[in-house]
Every structure is written in structure tokens, then in C-alpha cells.
Amino acid sequence: MFSIVAILVALGLSGAPALPQQPVAADAAVQATVASAGFKAAVAALDRDFDRHVAETIRLTEIPSPPFKEAERAKVYLELLKQHGLTDVEMDAEGNVMGLRRGMGSSTGSAPLIVIAAHLDTVFPAGTDVKVKRTGTRLAAPGVGDDTRSLAVLLAFIRAMDAAKIQTKADILFVGNVGEEGPGDLRGMRYLFTKSKYKDRITAFISADGTGTGNTITTGAVGSKRYHVSFKGPGGHSYGAFGLVNPAFAMANAMKRFGALTVPKSPKTTFSVGVVGGGTSVNSIPFETWMDIDMRSESPAELQKLDASFKTLVAEAVAEENAARSTAQGKITVEVKLTGDRPSGETASSQRIVQIASASVRAFGLTPSLTFSSTDSNIPISLGIPAITLVAGGTSDRAHALDEWIDVEKTSSLRGMQIMLATLVTLAGMQ
């Protein structure tokens, strides 16, 4: 997840005469939740428990969890889920860890199943210093907000619900999942929704991803295309073979053109070069250089347009290098390999999950904003399963940068957690 800069779509306020009935029904349902003795007891537990929540955030942040190397953090999280008294605690074949909080209808086997998930992986490679630097309520560390705090939020929810003896109609599956970031390409969610034993039972999905005021509801799945682009050439001695085509120059030309593309602000469309590499020694013309690039859009049509422009400019850059220098020993060739392809889509604002989340935001005095993003919700959204992504209160910035930070100031953090918890238990049907 990330600091949301997406277009905000203000939801209509309840009571405005032209709106459909659902908001009123949703508001009533959430208000009943929030007014209940059970929810109040849960909130009191979250409040009492807050220091532990912060400590768990720090502990989990300091376990490195690079893409495809989530195992160490997953093992610790699995143990925590066990300690929190969930049933069916397990790691699935993809590496996701999860446990079930059984609802009232669970014995019949036909209870609805709601999944709430936070992702285990961060974008940071092995070797990154993940020690948390704390200054008052501010915690700075790579991955602290994206998405480690949410893992701790899920644990706090289980403790609060248990302390308040909250029972729900639906089963709730708490998940720490792999593969949300970068090369993971949503592999954790793909497995959960298409291969796991729960795949046909999930009726609603909440991704707890990131830290922020708490009024943001991601209902739109930003589509993305990612490529590993490798430029190959004959290579040779930097001096002796001077004048031969150089894949680094072809790649530079492609990158420069890529950087100069113009994209619409709305629908939000973006591009980036994320990783570059190649070459063997300073005194050799490389035989290969490569780059990993990322393109996204709220609009499938804009993404397709950007994708076509990218492919054209890569081909042009290669042709220019082959024309600019000698191909006597071989030409520059390029391979554009698709490494990520996230579906776009949207959970309609008329869906119950969006209505309840919006009502929960309003119940805590905020105005809901529906946004687009690229999160674990992309997978259920693309499968037609109602899904949203929520943030858990507090403030944060610099996600994906080494100076990432969150502020766990208690009042604003608890407000966001309450919004998310109200959404979860109202959806699950509080008894």
C-alpha cells in the first residue's frame, strides 16, 4: 500500500433526500454496533491494550520480510495467531499464515466467511536496516507502516473481541499474507482465492493496509503491468571494441523516453523504473543490462495506451542504438518479459461492504473517501467478491522509502482502528 494521493470520491451523506436507502440502513446497522455494550468493551480493551499494540508493531517490523522471504516473519506471526486462541491456525502452501475465529453459524458449515488480511512482505531487500527508531509516538523504519502495523492491528482486534466476548454470525479468517509487494504479484491472495480450502467460501474481504486517518476506503483496484526488460548485445572490451553497440545506451534511451511520457492525472496513471542492473566490469561493454518497470492506471484503457507507448519506445531505443554504433559483432536485442499483471476493477459503492465501511467512517465523525489503489483487494475484486482496503488510523509517510515512518499517536490511531473494527463486526453480524 502507499500514501493515498488518489482521487477522492466523496460519498453522499446520510439523510440527503436523493440518495438510495442503503446508506441509511448501513448507518443504522453501524450505529447499533457502535452503541452496543460489546463494542464499547472492545474499544476499552483496544485502549488498555494500546502499548502492547505498539510493542508488537515494533517487534514485527524488526523481523525482515523481503518479497519471497517472508518465512521468518510468517513463523512468528503464526505463533502469535495460535497464542490468540484462533482455530485452524496454519501456513498454506503459498506461505500465508491464518487462523479462524469461529462465528455462531460455524457448526453448520454454511456460515459466511469474512477474511481480514494484512501483508507480511515489505519492499525492502535482505540486509536493509529494519531497526525501529522511535521518537515519542513516531516510529521510523522501512516497512513499519506498509504493512507491518496492520499485522499488529489484527492481533489487537482478536484480543479486543475476546475481551468483550463478541460473537459474530460469520466466521472471520485472520490472515498474514505473502506477496503483496512488487515481484510477489499478489501471489498470497491468488492462492487464497483460487486454490486454498477457503476459496469458495469467502463472502467479503478486508485488506488492512497502511496507516492513515481512517476515512479512506479503497474500492477501486488500480491495474498494473510490470516488465523485466533486458537489452542484450555482443559486449566487448571498452577500449578495444569501442564503437560497438552498448545495451546500456539503448536502455538509457528507453528510460529517458519513458520518463518523458505524459499521463493523465485523472484517471490516475503512473510509471516508474524501479530496479536496474547489468554489466560485468567497468572496462567491458555489457552483454546485458536490464530494468524492472511498473505502470499503473485506474483506467484499463489508459493502462493499455501506456503499455503500447512503452513497447514502442523500447523498440525505437533499440533501433536507434543499432543505428548509432557498429553492429559488426551483433545487434542489440531486447526481451520484454511480463512479470506482473494486476487486474483492475471496482467494488461498486452500492455493495454492502462499501456501505458499511462508509457508515463506520461517518460514525466516527469523518467523511468517507472512496479511492483507487493496487492492493491485495485487486484479486477478490477481479473475481467479483466484495472487497475493500482500509487503513488503521494514525499518520504516516514515505512508504517504500528508507525513511518510512508512522505516528502512533493514540487518539487518531484508535479512531482508525475503531472504524475498521466497526466495519468488520457489523459485516460479520454481531450478536
**What count of other Cβ atoms lies within 10 Å of the Cβ of residue 134?**
12
State the nearest-atom distance from the C-beta of 262 to its own copies, in Å. Answer: 11
State the nearest-atom distance from the C-beta of 263 to its own copies, in Å. Answer: 9
Helix (H, G, I), strand (E, B) or coil at 307: helix
Of 271 and 310, nearer to its own copies (C-beta) is: 271
State the nearest-atom distance from the C-beta of 200 to its own copies, in Å. Answer: 30
Of 127 and 384, nearer to its own copies (C-beta) is: 127
State the nearest-atom distance from the C-beta of 300 to its own copies, in Å. Answer: 15
* Grid cell digits, residue 39: 463494542
Query: What is the rounded (10 degree) CA torsion for 216, 11, 348, 169?
Result: 70
* Grid cell digits, residue 270: 503512473
Of 171 and 185, nearer to its own copies (C-beta) is: 185
Paired strand residues for 235: none
State the DSSP code for 144. I
The cell 504479484 sits on which residue?
Answer: 185
**What count of other Cβ atoms lies within 10 Å of the Cβ of residue 57?**
27
> How many alpha carbons lie under 13 Å from residue 234 in its C-beta half-sphere?
17
Under 8 Å between Cβ of 137 and 408:
yes
**Chain-centre distance for alpha carbon 389:** 8
State the DSSP code for 49. T
Helix (H, G, I), strand (E, B) or coil at 122: coil
Of 3 and 36, nearer to its own copies (C-beta) is: 3
> How many alpha carbons lie under 13 Å from residue 210 in its C-beta half-sphere?
28
State the nearest-atom distance from the C-beta of 132 to its own copies, in Å. Answer: 19
Of 105 and 343, nearer to its own copies (C-beta) is: 343
State the nearest-atom distance from the C-beta of 286 to its own copies, in Å. Answer: 7
- By C-alpha distance, which of 368, 356, 353 is closest to 8? 368
State the DSSP code for 128. -
Under 8 Å between Cβ of 132 and 141:
yes
Of 89 and 123, nearer to its own copies (C-beta) is: 123
Of 77 and 258, nearer to its own copies (C-beta) is: 258
> Helix and strand tally (H, E) in the chain?
11, 20
Helix (H, G, I), strand (E, B) or coil at 317: helix
Query: What is the rounded (10 degree) CA torsion for 46, 47, 51, 55?
Result: 20
Of 123 and 156, nearer to its own copies (C-beta) is: 123
State the nearest-atom distance from the C-beta of 7 to its own copies, in Å. Answer: 13
Of 32 and 324, nearer to its own copies (C-beta) is: 324
Query: What is the rounded (10 degree) CA torsion for 417, 420, 422, 428?
Result: -140
- By C-alpha distance, which of 69, 162, 172 is closest to 114? 172
State the nearest-atom distance from the C-beta of 301 to its own copies, in Å. Answer: 18
Of 196 and 269, nearer to its own copies (C-beta) is: 269
Of 99 and 236, nearer to its own copies (C-beta) is: 236
State the nearest-atom distance from the C-beta of 370 to its own copies, in Å. Answer: 16
State the nearest-atom distance from the C-beta of 258 to its own copies, in Å. Answer: 8
State the nearest-atom distance from the C-beta of 139 to its own copies, in Å. Answer: 18
Order of strands across the sheet with 405-407?
133-135, 138-140, 405-407, 395-397
